[in-house]
Structure formats: C-alpha cells, structure tokens
Amino acid sequence: MLGMRPTEVDHPLMFDKESNSTVRTVDVDPGALDTFELDVLQRIPSSAVQRHGPSKIAGVNPKALNALGLELPERTAIGFPHCMLARNSLPPEHGRLLEVVVGNRYKMLPRQKDGGGRCRHEWTMYIMLPGFQASKSMMVDHVIYNLHPTFSPNTYTKRSPNFELTCVGWGTFQVSCIVHWNPALGLQPSTVAHELVFEEFGGQTSATISVSPRRLQFFA
C-alpha cells in the first residue's frame, strides 16, 4: 500500500545498561501514507474508539498509531453544549471548508381536545453535507439531538445511515445537533444550533468547518 521497497537497517549490538538503537529515515509518498492511515482507521470500530481509544484496541499497535498521528483524545460524557462548531480553524492552505446543513421538515397535525385547542406540530430533524451528500453515511458516525427540557427523553442519538429524528410538539425551540464524524476525518464533534421553523418547507441552519483536503478526498 505504501509503494516502497524493503528497507534494510544495519544495527550493531551493544551489551551494556544503556543498550543501543539505530535510526534511519526513508521517503514516503504522503498520498500513500494517507491511504494507509485511512485503512487503519476504517478497520477500527468507531464504538471501540469511543470506549477505549485507538491505543487500547486489541490487534492495533499503539506505536504505529502514534507514528501516524492517530492517537485520539479521550471522549468525555456528552453534555450540552459538547463543543462549538469550529469555523475556519485551519488556514486555507491546510483545510477545505465543509458545509454542514441542519434543518427540519414540518407538518401540522389536527387539533386534539385534550390539547386545549392548540395545534400540534410534527417536525423531522435532518442533516445534509452539500457536495458530499452521497458520502454522508460514511463521513458521519452518529448525530446527537438535544431537545427542549420539556421533552422526555430530550436527548436522541441517530446512527448511520439514518440521521433523521421525528417528534411531535406544541411550539418552536432551539435544537442542538452534535455531529460525530468518521475518525478518518480527524475532526472533533461539531455542534450546530437550529431553531425549529413551523412553515411549509421548514427551515435550515448552515455552518462550515475546516477539514484536511487529503482526508476529505477519500470521501469525494
């Protein structure tokens, strides 16, 4: 996969307390290294990454992960907000802007007698990745929706490939959408706050994050 010939290193044995090591550097094609990195990450179940971190997964060499720069920070318990959306966190030459759209569809339901004559509203939350919609199920691992505290439960997790959430309520409020990405993208979770829109076509909230072009190319 790396496209390299075997590397030979001569090492003189040293029998003392400090021992000895021999270091040799080799040239590696960055594109081939990215491909290898993606292959390693795709073989690691995302659920295992969240529970243990890559270095604690059986069959995965921690030193190899560290050499590839794949050691991920330990996940903390999900709260609200978990993290804010990183806008333009990398210089243009190091990152490509990826648009994330969070929105809701809307449908008005018939009035109910026990609802005091108020209209009930059915709304469906969804996410879109313009330009990468066909790869959305691979790029996004799962999405967490935090609703108004009056809902019970008020936190829902949707996993690939269906990230939609349909609920029924009485009024509008702000929904916090936390997007957890495929580890191959090297991104922290991104939070987008969307205010529900109860109109014919619903509403959308758009935001952008900066992604490594080399990592993003595998999902193009």
Is 149 a domain residue? yes
pLDDT digits (tens, 9 = 90+) for 101-149: 999 999 888 776 655 567 788 999 999 999 899 999 999 999 999 999 9
Neighbours of 174 (CB within 10 A): 12
* Shared-domain flag, residues 170 and 115: yes
pLDDT digits (tens, 9 = 90+) for 155-190: 999 998 899 999 998 889 999 999 999 999 989 999
For tokens 């009485």, the residue is 170
* Shared-domain flag, residues 138 and 44: no
Range of the domain at 24: 1-75
* Shared-domain flag, residues 116 and 204: yes
- Among 40, 75, 110, the domain boundary falls at 75
| Top mean-pLDDT range of 17-21, 30-34, 81-85 | 17-21
Q: How far, in Å, CA of 25 to CA of 37, rounded? A: 19
Say what the pLDDT of residue 181 is.
95
